[in-house]
Structures are given as C-alpha cells and as structure tokens.
Amino acid sequence: MLRTPTGGAGHGTAGSAGRLVSIGTVLNQLRDEFPEVTISKIRFLEAEGLVEPRRTPSGYRKFSAEDVDRLAQILRLQRDHYLPLKVIREQLDGRAPGEPIRIPAPTPHADAAPEGPERPTAARIGRAELLAAAEVDEVQLSEWESYGLIAEAPGGGFDAESVTVARLVADLGRFGLEPRHLRAMKAAADREAGLVEQVVAPLRRHRNPQTRAHAEATMKELAGLSVRLHEALVQTALGVRLH
C-alpha cells in the first residue's frame, strides 16, 4: 500500500500562523504545483465538503494555512493517484492528526504494460479508473471522445494529461458547458500545439543528442507560456481579477 507525504515542498501556506487569506491568494499559492487549478475548482471542493473556509460578515471566503495544506493534499491525491473525491474525503477525515495518508492500491488494468525494462515510464490508467478519477459515467466519457476532447493513448489507456482534461471538462459541465461548446477550445489548443511543433521541429531533427534534448525542454517551456498567455487573454477579455 502506497503512502503519500503530508508535508514538504509544494504545500501551500497561508502566511503566518493564524493569518487568513482570500481565495485569489490561495489560488496563486497553489498554482506553482497545480497550474490547472481554478477558483471554480476550489469552490467546487468547498461545495463537496472537502474544505471549509471561514466566512467574513459580508460573505467572503477566508482560508487558513491548514485549509491551503488540505487543498494541496486533495489536489495531489487526485493528480498522483487518480482518487475520487469520496475516497479522498474518507482518507483525510478518517486519519488521526499526523497520521500518513494511506493510498488504496490501484486495480491492475487488463491492458496495462507488463513490469520490466520494456514498461513505459509514463503511468497510464484504464477506462474504469478514469471514470472514477473524473467522477463521471461511461455515457459522458463516450460523448467527450466523440467530440475529440479525450482519446486513449497509443497502445491503450489514458495518461495523466487525459485525467486532467477529464476533470476540467467535468468541472465546466457543472456550469452548463457541454462538449459541443468546448470544441472551439480544443481547436485552439491544437493550433497552439502546431505552432509549438513548428518551433521545435528543427531542433528535434538535429543530429546532436543535446540539441534534441533541448528541443523537449523548449517545447515544455513554450507550452507553459502558451497556457499562461491563453489564461491572461481570457481574463483580460472578461475583465477578471483574482485579487
């Protein structure tokens, strides 16, 4: 049975002991480790009873350092172990103070690659695990696939990015955004990916292994910048401020 640490680098802090911070500040603290997290996600976790921030007399949420640490644990358990929220809540609420979180052993996937040197380094999960991680049913997943929002990786199974996409699509669905509404986002993402590929393609074809390795690092950096630009443009268009 696996265990995940309850402290260390990556956990958010809400400043000095006893200090309460806004949801925008919490978002900024979590973004370094969880770039996909949104204010809507934090509010959803609150609605599901996984975190209980304090409220000011005017109704604003205020989070303690313990609240931010708990949010980081929840997001980490989702990202690293694909656990559904029900299981995460049981694990966090059922343990004694200071007790490590116990991660249920995953169910082996029938199509999973065998152990050994030929096993791919990227972890993949099966269809049932993806459904549990995103907390959706087969009908919803099939609809997402029909619109090209999610697809199995070559060789079968779903990678970590697919899990992230599934969760975000599910979160957007709670606001009434259907897969057909998200086709434009998918098309825009494909265009951005194509632009990045054009930049790194010459580096990938280079004979020098170091240059090819640099291509991968460049691709990751460009992808990160593209995501940040997209977020900033959407926020600017909507006049959204996080503070």
pLDDT digit string (tens) for 214-236? 888 888 888 888 888 888 888 88
Higher pLDDT, 217 or 26: 26
Number of CB atoms found within 10 A of residue 143's CB: 17
Tell whether 7 and 98 lie within a shared domain: yes
22 and 94 inside one domain: yes
pLDDT of 142 > 90? The answer is yes
Mean pLDDT of 39-65: 90
- Asked if residue 107 has pLDDT above 60, the reply is no
- Judgement on whether residues 42 and 97 belong to the same structural domain of the protein: yes
Nearest-10 Cα torsion for 169, 87, 47, 180: 10
**Is residue 113, in this structure, part of any structural domain at all?**
no
Same domain, 208 and 173: no
Q: How confident is the model at residue 242, as a pLDDT? A: 55
Q: 94 in a domain, yes or no?
A: yes
Element (H, E) at 54: strand 54-55
Q: What is the pLDDT of residue 8?
A: 41
pLDDT at 11: 43
Shared-domain flag, residues 156 and 202 = no
SS3 216: helix
**Is pLDDT of 15 > 60?**
no
Cα separation, 243 vs 237, in Å, equals: 17
Domain, as residue range, for 141? 123-177
Determine the average pLDDT of the residues in 121-137: 81
39 & 68 share domain: yes
Predicted confidence at residue 70, as pLDDT, reads: 93
* Cβ atoms of residues 37 and 75 within 8 Å: yes
Q: Which of 137, 152, 177 is the last residue of a domain?
A: 177
> 111-127 burial, b if ≥16 CB within 10 A, otherwise e?
ebeeeeeeeeeebbbbb
Residue 14 belongs to a domain = yes
* Burial class (CB within 10 angstroms; exposed 0-12, middle 13-18, buried 19+) of 207: exposed
Does residue 156 sit in the same domain as residue 207? Answer: no
- Quick one: 162 and 144 in the same domain? yes
Do 192 and 171 lie in a common domain?
no
Based on the domain organization, do 206 and 165 belong to the same domain?
no
**Residue 181: what pLDDT?**
92
